[in-house]
Amino acid sequence: MSLDDSWYTEQWAEQGSAISLKLAKKLHHEQSAYQRIEIFETETFGTLMTLDGLVMVTDRDNFVYHEMMSHPALFTHPDPRRVLVIGGGDCGTLREVLKHAGVQLAEQVELDERVTRVAEQFFPELCASNRDPRARLHFADGIQWIADSAPDSYDVIIVDSTDPVGPAAGLFSEEFYQHCHRALGPDGVLVGQSESPLFHADLIVAVQTRLRAAGFADSATLFFPQCTYPSGWWSGTLGCKRGTGCGFRVGDAARKSFTTRYYNAEIHAAALAAPEFLRERLVAR
């Protein structure tokens, strides 16, 4: 079967699979200093942003990813006030972080300012909290930022990055996690997007191993659907400085004071359940 130009197709050649979205029209195209940024209007998934030909965000399903990259980590920390988002240029994760009334400062360090400027234009609802007085947007390399951060600067660090290649590769390294460990307070929690459980199980195991080696007492992976990412199944991995098993404030999550479309306390608990093929490898770690 061949797909014509009215379809956007992202192929994962080594997996012999792909995703296609029917397009209505192309809205924007530019080559920034770091990557090719494209915006499309799709027939059924709303607006689509791709970076170097890889799906980052669609209107229709981004809520699952953004809510799962933010609320589990914030409800794992006992009292998150200072939050750092690394990457996250579409600003959807930042918006979710700022739903927590206790957050006093939410900094975002995105490498490519153009991603955020384009998101402001084409995804205004994701950028709705960018002018919140608690938000600070920086445009810099998150690896250098965290290496330069003073000890006990943040309560939660969220790594909302592209795939572990190019400038994002270092965001998955043990050295980076060591810097994050130092930059976090004593109850500090880190969460990083950790790719597909089906396609990238080795990466999830490596991320948990590196987090432990970097000094995090506990690590745990959250599993959730993300239908426009490779395999349709995605993950975020937590590192917790305190040895609390990455347990979370169940009652506070159940009584959360803001609305979500995917996240709730039951979803959080269920997302922490590892599938059998990975549980064996994570236990053996």
Catalytic residue positions? Answer: 160
Closer by beta carbon to ligand SAM, 130 or else 218: 130
Closer by beta carbon to ligand SAM, 159 or else 265: 159
- Locate 238 and state its tokens: 């937590």
> What is the rounded CA–CA span in Å between residue 132 and residue 122?
19
Q: Is 2 strand, coil or helix?
A: coil
- Contact call for residue 112 and ligand SAM (CB under 6 A): yes
To ligand SAM, the closest distance from the beta carbon of 259 in angstroms equals 21
- Contact call for residue 197 and ligand SAM (CB under 6 A): no
Residues 6 or more apart whose CB falls under 8 angstroms from that of 278 comprise 197, 201, 204, 205, 221
Q: Is 26 strand, coil or helix?
A: strand
- Contact call for residue 97 and ligand SAM (CB under 6 A): no
Closer by beta carbon to ligand SAM, 224 or else 265: 224
Closer by beta carbon to ligand SAM, 204 or else 265: 204
Contact pick of 38, 90, 96, 107 for ligand SAM (by CB under 6 A) = 90
E strand spans, 88-172: 105-110, 135-139, 154-160
> What is the rounded CA–CA span in Å between residue 38 and residue 92?
17
- Contact call for residue 115 and ligand SAM (CB under 6 A): yes
DSSP state of 169: G
* Sheet of strand 82-87: strand arrangement: 135-139, 105-110, 82-87, 154-160, 184-193, 233-240, 218-225
121 CB neighbour count, 10 Å cutoff: 12
Stretch that binds ligand SAM, among 4-12, 19-27, 125-133, 163-171 (CB under 6 A): 163-171
Contact pick of 70, 162, 228, 231 for ligand SAM (by CB under 6 A) = 162
* Segment 30 to 59, residues that bind ligand SAM, using CB under 6 A: 34, 56
Closer by beta carbon to ligand SAM, 114 or else 265: 114
Counts of helices then strands in the chain (DSSP H, E)? 9, 12
To ligand SAM, the closest distance from the beta carbon of 251 in angstroms equals 29
> What is the rounded CA–CA span in Å between residue 21 and residue 270?
29
To ligand SAM, the closest distance from the beta carbon of 57 in angstroms equals 6
Instruction: Give contact residues for ligand SAM (rule: CB under 6 A).
Output: 34, 56, 65, 86-90, 109-112, 115, 141-143, 160-162, 167-168, 171, 193
